Copies of this chain bind each other. A is one copy, B any other.
Amino acid sequence: MVFPQVEAFRGGENLIRVVGHRGARGVLPENSMIGFDFSLSINVPLLEFDVVLTADDVPVITHNHRLHAPSFRGADGLFLTGEEPKVSSLTFEQIQQFDIGRLDGLSAYGQRFPDQAQLDGVRVPRLMDLLDLVSEPKYGDAYLMLELKSDPDVVHDPLHRGNFVGRVLQEVRAKGLSSRAVLHSFDWKLLEECQRQAPDMPSSYLTQFPDNADDVGEDSSKAICPDLRGRRDEIPNLVKQAGGSLWCPYYADVTAENVAYAKELGLCVAVWTVNQHEEIGRMIDLRVDAIVSDYPGRVQRHLSDLGISWRAGNQ
């Protein structure tokens, strides 16, 4: 089966794709509409982002299962302190009370993004807000790498899983965008459910070795991702067998061998989150299909300098 949205992420002769990670987290608040606008404006129409369900079953775009204290401010203008409330315990309306426009510079997380613009009045978007945006005719070339975030507390609950996938698909289908989104997750069980409910949509398998899975200030993939240690060279085959169309490994986990093997199997290889100059160079050398980055402009600079395109044809 050829999925047009998989081809949108596939590289080629003199072509490596650029994907804006959470919009463009290095430049603008993560998972915000202004971040997606920016990525689209610089001709990076491949958007990676994270979806979680609220208490009232609204798919919203945010990374962690709990409101993330270093980037969430309450009505008092202060960053959250104490226990972070769960997204799934709040209604969409309640979540709209928080401002996600700034980073707490005192936090280790905040210090990771020293160039991020600081804004006020930025809200957690609904998945539907982004679907509406890319439905505008001028963004007909936008494709979505829609990450479904599995909550470790309910990861084994098939009812929850079915409902989550169902709610997301309902919105994607309502906007007629099933041919422009890939369903992306660390949770292989959830991707199985995606394939059951949406055989017409491709699955994108995220992987990360547990030794590399401790990004400061982020929900770890360890609770969700299968432990693949010792199977580095088998991963592409495992993804393929599971029904995957894309393999999305953490950049530190890839080798020339497993990239080549994945491509041989017909998988599209999109590596994340590649921010440092040396790593961008290394991923280009490995000829991955796509580079997911918080700094899409930086990746463009590398590709442009090498005469490599990030858009197919005359786009």
Q: Which residues of A are interface residues toward B (Cβ below 8 A)?
A: 26-28, 34, 37-38, 41-44, 102-103, 105-106, 110, 113-120, 277, 295-298, 300-301, 303-305
Contacts and interface: CB of A to CB of B under 8 A. Distances in A.
B106 A305 contact: yes
Contact of A301 (B103, B296, B301): B103
Contacts of A296: 117
Contacts of A305: 105-106, 110
Given A117-B297, A118-B300, 4 more contacts: A43-B119, A105-B304, A114-B301, A117-B296
A302 to B, nearest CB: 8
A118 B309 CA distance: 11
Q: Which 3 A-B pairs have the closest CB atoms?
A: A105-B305, A117-B297, A42-B117
Contacts of A301: 103, 105, 113-118
Contact of A27 (B37, B43, B297): B297
A311 to B, nearest CB: 9
**Copies held by the complex:** 2
A310 to B, nearest CB: 9
A124 B42 CA distance: 17
Contacts of A300: 117-118
A216 B220 CA distance: 44
A278 to B, nearest CB: 12
A45 to B, nearest CB: 13
B41 A116 contact: no
Contacts of A277: 114
A41 B34 CA distance: 8
Contact of A297 (B118, B120, B303): B118
Contacts of A41: 34, 37-38
A298 B120 contact: no
Contacts of A120: 43
A228 to B, nearest CB: 33
A55 to B, nearest CB: 31
5 contacts: A27-B297, A42-B117, A42-B119, A43-B119, A116-B301
A104 to B, nearest CB: 8
Contacts of A27: 27, 297
A300 B277 CA distance: 23
Which of A42, A296, A303 has the most chain B CB within a 10 Å cutoff? A42
Contact of A304 (B118, B295, B297): B118
Contacts of A303: 118
A184 to B, nearest CB: 24
Nearest to A38: B38
Contacts of A118: 297, 300-301, 303-304
B114 A298 contact: yes
Contacts of A298: 114-115
Nearest to A41: B34
A106 B81 CA distance: 48
A44 B113 CA distance: 19
A14 to B, nearest CB: 14
